[in-house]
Each structure stands twice: as C-alpha cells, then as structure tokens.
Structure 1
Amino acid sequence: MISRFPLRRALAGLTLAIAPMMAQPASAQFFWSPPDMSAPPLTDAAAATALGLPGATPAEIKAGLAWNLRAALNVAALQCQFEPTLLSTSNYNAMIAHHDAELDVAQAALLGYFQRTVGKGKAGQSASDMYNTRIYSSYSTVQAQKGFCQTTAEVGRQAIFADRGTLHEVGRVGLGPIKKSLIAAGEQYYGTPGYDYNVALPSFDPKCWKKGVLLPVCHQAWNDKAGVTP
C-alpha cells in the first residue's frame, strides 16, 4: 500500500515556503524588501521651503504642489520607461488629462508669484522659466532611479484617481516620499553590493614597480588595504 501522507507533507511545506513570496506587495518590482520612502505631508511652511517658493501665499503653495508633482511625474515618464509595468508614461498622460484645469490654474498662479516677487513682464517670466528648469532638474536621478521610479509610480496612481481639483493634495502627501526617494537607498534585505562595493587599487608609485611587476612590499600593502589575508 502506498501512503500519500509524505506527498501531502511535502506539498504543505512547499506552500509554506512559497507563501512569503506571494505576500510581497505588487509594487515591489525592484526590491525584495524596499526602502522606506514614507514622509509626512508637507505643511504650507515646509512646502514653501521644499518647493523654493519663499513668501508664497496659500494659493501659490497649492499651485506649487500641483506643478511640482506634474514635473516629478513628467521626469518619471521619461526616465522610468525601462520598467513598463510601472505605467509611468500612461499614468502621467492620464494625470494631465484628468487634472488639466487645475494645472492651468497652477501655472498661472506660479507666474503671478514670480511677477509679484521678482517683477512684472520679462523679469517675472524669466524667473518662472528658470524655476521650471530648476524643478525638472531636481527630480532627475541616476543612482536612486529605481527607488524614484517605484515611488513616483505609486504617487502617479494616486493622482489619476484623485478628484479633479485635488491634485495639490496628492502633491502635499506624495512629494515628500518622492523627494526622499531621490537619495539612493537600495535593497534592505540583501543589501546593495553594487552600491557598497569599493575597489582597492595597488599603489601606482613608480617605486612599487619593477619591469611591470608589483614589488612584494607594495603588494602586501595592497593586500592589507583590500583586507586580503594569505
């Protein structure tokens, strides 16, 4: 007689082994254990500093929140296409279509801010143009690209489902994590050997070399530097 209990126990063990994998959140495209990108919502005072809008009125702060969120998601749409499942481009396009009226108001309000604080006419327009260039550059990253792309994907989904006229509130909650994600922070469980790796090079002092061969004393110094033991 063939017993089925060992097979059942094996399947049960396999289920327990797979369960943690199935429990991983859908947003974890890059990390088994992602870095914590949480940050508190921006107050008006914090937003004025973080967005580079000193002395802004509450209406101008709202405009800055919406416009900076647009800039961040626009950069993500361009930089995060290497991972199509993030839907960075389609989320950005949907956000623009859904919140176009609020974004038009935000753009006008920010121009008004610079005309009020810098000067009317060409001076204010020039300051507004430079501000746009500056905020776009501030959301561009290389070393922290994975964390940035994952975070903007999450915030982008919130933006497309937010009611019209409330994009600034999505920005108030989402811009803190987005700005935090611009600091490189990789895999939390396994570490980031690619980022943490340091190359130990031998001395290139001519005294350390003879006919292209590293002399023993300098070779030992190189081993000590690299942590190599004989």
Structure 2
Amino acid sequence: MAARVGSSIQLKGLYAGLAGNLFGVLPASAIFVGIYEPTKQKLLTVLPENFSAVAHLTAGVLGGAASSLIRIPTEVVKQRMQTGQFASAPDAVRLIVAKEGFKGLYAGCSSFLLRDLPFDALQFCLYEQLRIGYKIAARRELSDPENAVIGAFAGAITGAITTPLDVLKTRLMVQGSGKQYNGLIGCAQTIIREEGPAALLKGIGPRVLWIGIGGSIFFGVLEKSKVFLSERHSIVDSESESSKQE
C-alpha cells in the first residue's frame, strides 16, 4: 500500500513483502516447470492427439501441487507483510511459527490450492492451446513477441476468472489467529452477507493487469529458454558424436 505522510506519498509500501516473495517464487517456479514439462511430454505421447488439452491441464495441476509446498508459505508471509503485520520476512516466519505453530505458514491452504491449481491448469492449457492454434494458422514457429502476447492474454483471462478465489485466499491468509472467517465456505458467506457479491471481484482490474504482464514475461522467457536448451543439447550431442567417430 502507498502511505501518505504529510504532503508526500510513501511508495515503499507498494513493495512490501517483495524480497520474501522473490525468495520463494524463484524455487517454486523452478519446481513447477520441472514437473510440468516432463509430465506434459509424457502425457502427450500416451494420449490421442486431440486430447492435448487434457495433458496440459493435468500437467498444470501436478506442477502447481508440487510447487505449492513453497508457494503457500511464501504467499502467507507476503500477505502478512503487505498488511503491515511484520517488517521483514524472517520476522514474519519466526513470529508466525511462534504464535500459530508451523501450520500458520500454511494458513488458507485450502483456499490457496482452490485458487492456484485451477489457475495453473487453465493458464497453461489456454496458453498451449492458443499456441497450437496460432502455429497451425501461421504454418511456422512463433516469434518471441508472439509467445509473449499469447502468454499475456492467457494470464489476463485466467486472472479474471479466478479473482473470487483470490479474494477468498487473501482474506483467509491475512486473518492470522483472529479467525474472522471460519473456513472457505464461511469466508465466502461472510463476504457476500456483509459486503455483497461484488466484493468477490475486488481488485480484478489490477489483478488482470499484473498477471497479464507477468504471463507475457514468464512465457516469453520460458519459450526462449526451451529453445536455448534445445540448441545447447543438440550441440553437445553433435560434439559427442564427433568424438566417437574420431
């Protein structure tokens, strides 16, 4: 949040929880891709060609489930810091565990999984299917900007669809030991009763914007990295074959 002090606006609150978030997001993303790609490739070889969406959805769910072991505590710490409960990530982890036990780092676990597993599955499936369709229409490999645009579109659409789940996840994660909400269903009922159904769409504009931008960067980098690794692998194989012939 941006705080106003006197006549100036303090913007550092906009980046609250950034360090802790980056610390968790990087390994979580590596785990996700490490599970998603081989699972997708394996499923694509055993499923009929017209079932490619099933492969993408399944791989997205499995990748999301594995990476959630890191993503959930990271999200809890980030949300608590953004609401001003803690000044640093180490303090957040230490005090959450001291007050709520280790399970406090997994507060809102059910709502997080309910949001992120469908999000991961839908975003990656939508991205992959759009790429397949575009490549067929264009009859060529896609350029980096084209991959980025498709990634942005997939992220924005998925972000909009999952906004109510994100609202529930956030409310449950930041409530701490106060327990304002009693579970996922209770949280939804309380929000609708006290704030109206429209409250489940709070923040949809910024969410669509930043996930669209993030999707553009993530998928653009992902495809570029896959091409680089593939070319590198081909060079190594070629050099290995040459050494054998010698």
TM-score bracket for this pair, using the shorter chain length? under 0.3
What TM-score do the two structures reach when normalised by structure 1? 0.26
Identify, as 1 or 2, the structure richer in helix.
2
What TM-score do the two structures reach when normalised by structure 2? 0.25
